[in-house]
């Protein structure tokens, strides 16, 4: 995935007959979505579609968006189940110490002072996200992205340290 694009929301079911889709922001914030003019929708089959925002609105407990050329329920349904990607400069501002999950991808994984692998992806977990690490031998392991298992990511050195070597042994 293009590192300039960030996944900001899940695209839910259609709402009504006018092509509105329910949008579920990853951060819970909608302010940045209300200002969007263009974005990319990655469909369920992995195809990326550039779209222009026609209208946004809040309705009860959900946030709705409508896109140009997808202005009927049937057309909009094609985007349902996808992911919304936006340019990094359109994302909500980070607070000190925060980072985007996308920034973890491709970090070198260090254990006992040596490179042990690379962060390949991040998966949702019940208590924390899990780092999917591709070890140097080609095998993958899942490691919780939380202390006491890993350090905070060091973006200057492009690395994250696994603090318990047993997590890499499988």
Average pLDDT of the residues in 105-122: 95
What percentage of the chain exceeds 90 in pLDDT?
70
Average pLDDT of the residues in 9-19: 94
Mean pLDDT rounded to a whole number for the chain = 92
- Segment among 3-7, 44-48, 133-137, 150-154 with least mean pLDDT: 3-7
**pLDDT band at residue 149 under the 50/70/90 scheme:** very high
- Where residue 77 falls (left for φ over 0; alpha for ψ -120 to 50; beta otherwise) is alpha
**Closest C-alpha to 119, from 130, 129, 134, 141:** 134
Report the Cα 120 to chain-centroid distance in Å.
Answer: 13
């Amino acid at each position: 995935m293009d590192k300039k694009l960030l996944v900001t929301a899940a695209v839910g079911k259609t709402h009504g007959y006018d092509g509105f889709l329910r949008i579920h922001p990853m951060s819970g914030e909608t302010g940045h979505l209300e200002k969007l003019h263009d974005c990319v929708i990655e469909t369920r089959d992995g195809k990326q579609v550039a779209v222009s925002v026609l209208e946004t609105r809040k309705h009860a407990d959900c946030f709705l968006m409508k896109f140009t050329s997808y202005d009927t329920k049937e057309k909009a349904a094609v985007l349902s189940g996808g992911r919304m990607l936006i340019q990094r400069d359109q994302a909500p501002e980070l607070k000190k110490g925060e980072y985007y999950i996308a920034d973890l991808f491709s970090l070198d994984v260090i254990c006992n002072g040596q490179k042990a692998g690379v962060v390949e992806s991040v998966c949702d977990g019940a208590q924390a996200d899990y780092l999917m690490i591709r070890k140097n031998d080609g095998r993958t392991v899942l490691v919780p992205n939380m202390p006491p298992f890993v350090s905070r990511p060091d973006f200057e050195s492009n690395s994250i340290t696994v603090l318990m070597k047993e997590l890499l042994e499988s």
